[in-house]
Chain A
Amino acid sequence: MQLLLSHMLTAIIFLPLLGAALILLVPARWKGAVRAVGLVVALVTLALCALAWFGIEGSREFELGEIASWIPAFGIHYHVGVDGASMLLMLMIALIVPMGVLVSWNEVDERVRGFHVWLFVAEAGFMGVFAALDIFLFYVSWQVVLIALFFLVGSFGLSGRLRAAHTFLLFVMAGGMLLLVAMLAAAGVVGSFDLLDWYAIDFPFAVQRWLFLAMAVAFAIPAAVVGLHMWLADAVAEAPTAGAILIVGGLLKMGCYGFYRFAMPLFPEALAVAVPVLCILALVGIIAGALMAAVQPTLKRAVAYLAVAQTGIVLLGFSSLNVEASAGAVVVLAAQGLVSVGLLGMAGMLSGRGLTDALDGSAKLGARLPRMAVVLLVLLVAAAGVPGFAVFAGEWLVFLGSFQTQTIMAAIALAGVVLVPVAVGRIALRLIAGSSDEEARHRRDLGLREYVLLIPALAILIGVGVAPRMWLGPALASAKTFCTLATRVRMIVPAGEREP
């Protein structure tokens, strides 16, 4: 137990890998056993993450730190540690993976073993990304996530999966290479791969410009910042439900986290120059994402575009360089992850019942599957940013903070955010409304497995929305550090007046 407590993050990162190895030991024919082992592993990981979440103090420092020599010749360490923001995101990943296992219970019936192996490899990668304090470890985990998602989409997706996986791979790998070059160049400047060493250094402005640009593009691709979001809708629509869940709930969050942890706090001077551009991108993302979401043919695609809008809100929160706004953006990340996962899970359940998730008014869930319609409605309401849900708590903070530093941008963004409920309303109407017909109520409504899948997510969304304070503390502490680092430039005397 003592050993576990002192190596909590290592346990969280490697448990999914261990689970993948365990699953490989189960004979492929025993599909039920594979699923059961997968569920147990996912739940144990979740338990560990919850333990870690309550175990951290939520201070401004990285906690649960572990460091071990890995490749001394390159100066590379296995260095992990978390603050409130990264722990929150890890908790979210740990929560959506069991949802992914449950939602795939009946959906994936061939190559069940391979599916679960990739699922857990992806989870381990995500945990590594969020916990890494060493750049090399971060990059390796990053690529592990991409490869695992590539196989999940390409191997287990729908009819258009090949093209979608191709596009996905092209985009994210191009970003990955850019990230590699930027990270190597930065490591060359610092002479170390430790993120804490990077934080301690002021990069020269000429270097900052290029490194920030490279990293911003590299992170913007997986974050689906508008303009680089083209891969997203196809990948989400063609992926298996669990793959879509990991893309929207994990990969997008990973890209945003890259901004929060690397690009912005490391290169404050370049960031100061780039803030207007980032804000405009955020605005365009919010408005375009909401508008696109309103005209999509299927629920999955609509969720993908809603995610583009959410990325815009998050980007606005980070670019405001304000503690409330940044902490709010982190909460939006986690909460929006849960909402999207819930919605995508519903889309998967519809497909599993032989219904489509098409937004053409043919679903008529209100009449056919009333209980499902209620849950869907609650999730959609949460996605719209209605008070009482976690998404609202985050968005509220984002706007509260951004009005202080980016008043005009925030005002326009607020006007844009109104479009989100419009889009959500249309989705709700098209899916739920409609009078009952001869087919009415002959299909299964929500079953126990699906309740188990959905209730915790809903409970957390509502719980955080009603009582956000107890959850916000660690995120706020992390945001304080972020803002201190990202606004370093404000404290520097202008170049001309600098003392010799």
Chain B
Amino acid sequence: MFEAVVQWGGQGGVAFVRSALPLIVLAVTALVVGGIELVRPSRRAHIAVLSAGLGVSFFLSWQMWASASGASQGMFLIDRVTIVGWQIAIIATAFALLVSCSDRGEGVERSVPAAMLGVIAFGMALLVAAADLVVILIAFEIIAAGAVALIVGGRAGGRAHEAAVKFFIPSLLATAFMAMGAACLFGVTGATELGAIAERIPECMASPMRSLVLVGVGLVTVAFALRIAIAAFHAWMPDAIEGAPPAAAVILTTGAMAAGLIAFMRVALAVAAIGPLWRGLLTALAVASIVVGNLGALAQTNLKRMLGFAAIAQVGLALIVLPSVAADPSGVSRALILFLLVTVVLMAAAFAAVSAIGGAGSVDSAQLAGLASRRPVLAATFSLILLALAGLPPTVGFVARYDLFLTALGGGDVGLVLVGAFGSVLSIAYFLKPVWTMVFCEPHASMGAFDEDATVRAIPAPLVAVLAIAAMVVILFGILPQNLVAYLSLSAW
């Protein structure tokens, strides 16, 4: 079965390089942007180079999608899921870049975001193309390094530093766990490549080495859990999101998470031969994330923290299809990339809306009171995005969730789907609460100063772009999802 998914074998180097071009372009972009940063920091040059790099890379990925053949060079695997993963990473980076352009906080080193986003984009692209635990480890490191710099973002002291520390320590732990896990698996199977591990796991499970396999897989799983904020390794997420500048919040909850989940899906497939124990672990992680994320989000009044918890819940929701990945790889991969693509757009737009309302600082949900009468278009767009995040029809959020539930049911995970549905009800509660406040509540008198501010300030053009694109995606693909679904169906394994 695995062979059908991963075509190992003798593709020529040239062909491989050609198929890896989008990744290479991103690497060069990251280098150039980093180089400019060292020589002569210039915000405009950064943004120009990064935009060009993202654009070229996206174009190349679009071009080669039709001819993608699952080219593999041992440590890398470039199939259509990889290509869609690249596209997701590029879209996430582009949104983060747009959000960062509007970040006008005090003491912001304006050139840093673009430079670091370039680095993170490369890390994410590497992660979705990784077919080897060592490559995954390296990609983790690149993303973490970029993200820490992005979170600090040249700001002096305060919340950003705290957020950076809270993000960095789990990242270090993730690296350590990943290294140990890879070592364990290498010890047992003699390989760190996912394909080779997959081949050898059945015989290892029958041998006395069984426990070492389990330990190795467990450590790798913990590393992923730390990296993409799966409960119970999620504690850093809301804190980091609350303190981080908007661009960092966007990239951590969208692209980094999506890339991590795609890589985790490859790992899940590779070690699926472990059997019920592995399914059980995935089920437990999914349930824990859904419960923790949704209950946590329910209790928040700070919008950014709420979105941080919501991101954990979304990871949990994405995980509900993974137990069936071995039985139905094409369905699972389609449902997952559809959900990730949609979530990336929606979460980025949600953070853009929060930035539009409250600037780079944090926004309390009480500040939204009466927004519908003060800024009807912004309030309507934000409401639309929140409804989509809650997975209500006729938005694209519903389409994504629908496919996810259907796939999980196809795999026989009725219990998981019920948990997911229960979580969705909770998510309706907390995603509709801001809508509620915007539409139904009158602004408090004590909010007067803030109100003045919000009414006067115009929304920066980049944020308008993000919101407009997201609103169009939500409605267009919500009502007529056919093209999107067909594209992703053809991209699935």
Q: Which residues of A line the B interface, CB within 8 A? A: 69-74, 136, 139-140, 143-144, 147, 151, 154-155, 161-162, 165, 169-170, 173-174, 177-178, 180-181, 184-185, 187-188
Q: How far is the CA of A170 from the CA of B422 in the complex (A)?
A: 11
> Does the CB pair A177–B482 fall under 8 Å?
no
- Hey, what's the 0/1 contact readout for B252-276 against A, CB within 8 Å counting as 1? 0000000000000000000000000
- Interface size on B (CB < 8 Å)? 31
- A154-B439, A177-B425 are contacts. A73–B406 as well, Cβ < 8 Å? no
Q: How far is the CA of A187 from the CA of B417 in the complex (A)?
A: 14
22 chain-A/chain-B pairs, Cβ below 8 angstroms: A70-B480, A70-B482, A72-B482, A72-B486, A73-B489, A74-B402, A136-B402, A140-B394, A143-B392, A143-B393, A143-B398, A154-B436, A155-B440, A161-B440, A170-B429, A177-B421, A180-B421, A181-B409, A181-B414, A181-B418, A184-B402, A185-B409
Q: How far is the CA of A184 from the CA of B421 in the complex (A)?
A: 11
Q: How far is the CA of A187 from the CA of B414 in the complex (A)?
A: 13
Known contacts A73-B489, A177-B425; 19 additional CB pairs below 8 A are A71-B481, A71-B485, A74-B402, A140-B393, A151-B439, A154-B440, A155-B439, A161-B440, A169-B428, A169-B432, A173-B428, A177-B421, A177-B422, A177-B424, A181-B418, A184-B402, A184-B405, A184-B417, A188-B409
Residue of A nearest to B393 (CB): A140
> Does the CB pair A185–B429 fall under 8 Å?
no
By a CB distance below 8 angstroms, the chain B residues around A177 are 421-422, 424-425
By a CB distance below 8 angstroms, the chain A residues around B429 are 169-170
Q: How far is the CA of A281 from the CA of B392 in the complex (A)?
A: 31
Q: How far is the CB of A486 from chain B (nearest CB, A)?
A: 25
> Does the CB pair B410–A188 fall under 8 Å?
yes
> Does the CB pair A73–B485 fall under 8 Å?
yes
| Residue B387, interface by CB 8 Å | yes
Q: Which residues of B line the A interface, CB within 8 A? A: 387, 392-394, 398-399, 402-403, 405-406, 409-410, 414, 417-418, 421-422, 424-425, 428-429, 432, 436, 439-440, 480-482, 485-486, 489
Q: How far is the CB of A218 from chain B (nearest CB, A)?
A: 11
From B387, B440, B481, contact of A147 by CB (8 A): B387
By a CB distance below 8 angstroms, the chain B residues around A155 are 439-440
Q: How far is the CA of A184 from the CA of B416 in the complex (A)?
A: 13
- A170-B429, A180-B421, A181-B418 are contacts. A140–B398 as well, Cβ < 8 Å? yes
From A162, A165, A169, A184, contact of B409 by CB (8 A): A184
> Does the CB pair A180–B436 fall under 8 Å?
no
> Does the CB pair B414–A185 fall under 8 Å?
yes
By a CB distance below 8 angstroms, the chain A residues around B439 are 151, 154-155
> Does the CB pair B421–A181 fall under 8 Å?
yes
Q: How far is the CA of A71 from the CA of B394 in the complex (A)?
A: 13
Q: How far is the CA of A169 from the CA of B481 in the complex (A)?
A: 27
By a CB distance below 8 angstroms, the chain A residues around B403 are 74
By a CB distance below 8 angstroms, the chain A residues around B409 are 181, 184-185, 188
Q: How far is the CA of A493 from the CA of B218 in the complex (A)?
A: 53
Residue of A nearest to B334 (CB): A73
Residue of A nearest to B411 (CB): A188
